[in-house]
Amino acid sequence: MLREAAVTAPASNASSTAEDANLTAASDAVTSAAAFNSAAASYAATVSGLDDTDVAKLSAASAVSAASSAYNEAVQAYTFTSYYTSLSASYATAVGNSAGDPDDLDAHSTSAASLAASYATKANTYVSAVSSAASAASAAAATGIFELVSSANAVTSAGNTSISTAASDADNAVDTVYTATQYDNKNASLTGMYTTASSAASVAAGATETAATLQNSASAALATAKSAASTGDFETANSAYSDAMNLQSQMATTATTASAANSTAQSAASAANSTALSDIASSAAVSATAAASAGSLASSEASLAATYTGSQAVSYATLAASTAVTATSAAAVASTAAANLAATTSPKDATLYAQDVESAAANAVSAETTTSSAASMAAMYDGSSVANTNSDSSNASVTMSVTSTGVSPTELSVGDSLTLAAKLSMSGLSLQYGTGDYKFM
């Protein structure tokens, strides 16, 4: 018994040490495989936002699948290592307890230990497979990240373009306000609007400078990501992607600033334009009203003049009718110009229409004045007769007009009055001269 104890005890200790080493190796292998498997999944996750048909995404997914499969094999190998290690230990214990044929039990223990060592080795082999799959996932992810950086830069570039557009629009708004001040220089409020628009345009211009810097940085990040993708450098590519996303965010903030500044400038421009149009229209409305009144009055005066009789009265009534047409036509021109003014959105055009209104109104008023004078003369010669027409030349004639309050110009009584008037006609031009009023006492 002492001999057997002396023989088996050292073998049991050596076996136990080997078994512990196998189990530890398998356990370490599983731990390493788990880390690589997790890394592979993490790499693939960075490109999950790509289209499902994207090559990089598909490659990363395939690598993750391979890593997961190898990891599961490593876990299975560890399980077998643990099992056979335990079985070997059980046989060794049985030998020590003389629970059976020592040689048979020792053989079983040795066989189990050998299987445990074999599975421990397999576990480490699977670690290599998981590691290779993780590397493949990393390389695929680096390629996919370049695509993500490119997409982020497209958004950043679009933001840069929108900022430039906003700044340009703000500048145009300033020009609009300035134009309004030129055509409506009596309204002091337009000066304040110009200051507001100019200040906003300055903010927008500053945003374009910031945007230019951000765009340059985004281009650099894209170049870095492209280089990293070519070498499968995930860490460098991922860092470039982080930079690209940060730049995209900054560009979006800058774009918001530029947009707000442009909105302020546009509001000032709209207000200035509306104010100028309103002021110009108000001024023109006075002239348009005067033209309409002149046309209406001239028409009435001409109508009244038409009721008078006698050749002289008719002559003046004809003149009144002609100038009344001129007045009403001018009033119509003023009305049309006023309507065009109301429809336009340009202070420059509005000013031109206003000038048309004023010019037409002046013509209408002038024509009405002539109509009024002609109508007054028609009234003066109402009922007059004409006699003693004398021709001085082939191009001129003199006509004497006689008007009385008596039965006739040749039958006058005391208290009756007599009016004599001479008219000179020359080549279609009529002039009255030599009027005299007489009263018999």
pLDDT higher than threshold 70 for residue 422: no
The rounded distance, in Å, linking the Cα atoms of 319 and 306 is 10
The closest alpha carbon to 290, from 355, 356, 358, 369, belongs to 358
pLDDT higher than threshold 70 for residue 31: yes
Amino acid 50: pLDDT? 87
The rounded distance, in Å, linking the Cα atoms of 201 and 194 is 10
pLDDT above 70 coverage of the chain, percent: 78
Domain spans of the chain, in order of start: 1-269, 281-379, 384-439
Region 73-97 average pLDDT: 80
- What are the tens digits of pLDDT across the range 361-390? 999 999 999 999 999 999 999 886 554 444
Q: What Å distances lie between residue 238 and 40, 245, 401, CA to CA?
A: 14, 11, 112
Amino acid 432: pLDDT? 47
Burial of 392 (0-12, 13-18, 19+ CB in 10 A): exposed
Handedness of CA 177, 178, 182, 186 (dihedral sign): positive
Region 106-118 average pLDDT: 79
Amino acid 270: pLDDT? 97
Taking the whole predicted model, whether its pTM rises above 0.85 is answered as no
The rounded distance, in Å, linking the Cα atoms of 426 and 111 is 150
The closest alpha carbon to 304, from 369, 376, 366, 401, belongs to 376
Position with higher pLDDT, 105 vs 25: 25
Q: Which of 88-92, 93-97, 127-131, 198-202 shows the lowest per-residue confidence on average (mean pLDDT)?
A: 93-97
- What are the tens digits of pLDDT across the range 240-299? 999 999 999 999 999 999 999 999 999 999 999 999 999 999 999 999 999 999 999 999
Region 214-230 average pLDDT: 96
Q: What is the mean pLDDT of the chain?
A: 84
Query: Per-residue confidence at 415, pLDDT binned at 50, 70, 90?
Result: low
Query: Per-residue confidence at 49, pLDDT binned at 50, 70, 90?
Result: confident
- What are the tens digits of pLDDT across the range 140-198? 999 999 999 999 999 999 999 999 999 999 999 999 999 999 999 889 999 999 999 99
Query: Per-residue confidence at 5, pLDDT binned at 50, 70, 90?
Result: very low
CA angle centred on 157, ends 154 and 159, rounded to 5°: 110
Amino acid 112: pLDDT? 78
Residue 190, CA atoms < 13 Å, CB-side half-sphere: 25
pLDDT higher than threshold 50 for residue 11: no
Amino acid 110: pLDDT? 78
Amino acid 7: pLDDT? 31
Query: Per-residue confidence at 216, pLDDT binned at 50, 70, 90?
Result: very high
Q: Which of 2-6, 345-349, 416-420, 422-426 shows the lowest per-residue confidence on average (mean pLDDT)?
A: 2-6
Amino acid 108: pLDDT? 65
The rounded distance, in Å, linking the Cα atoms of 363 and 115 is 121
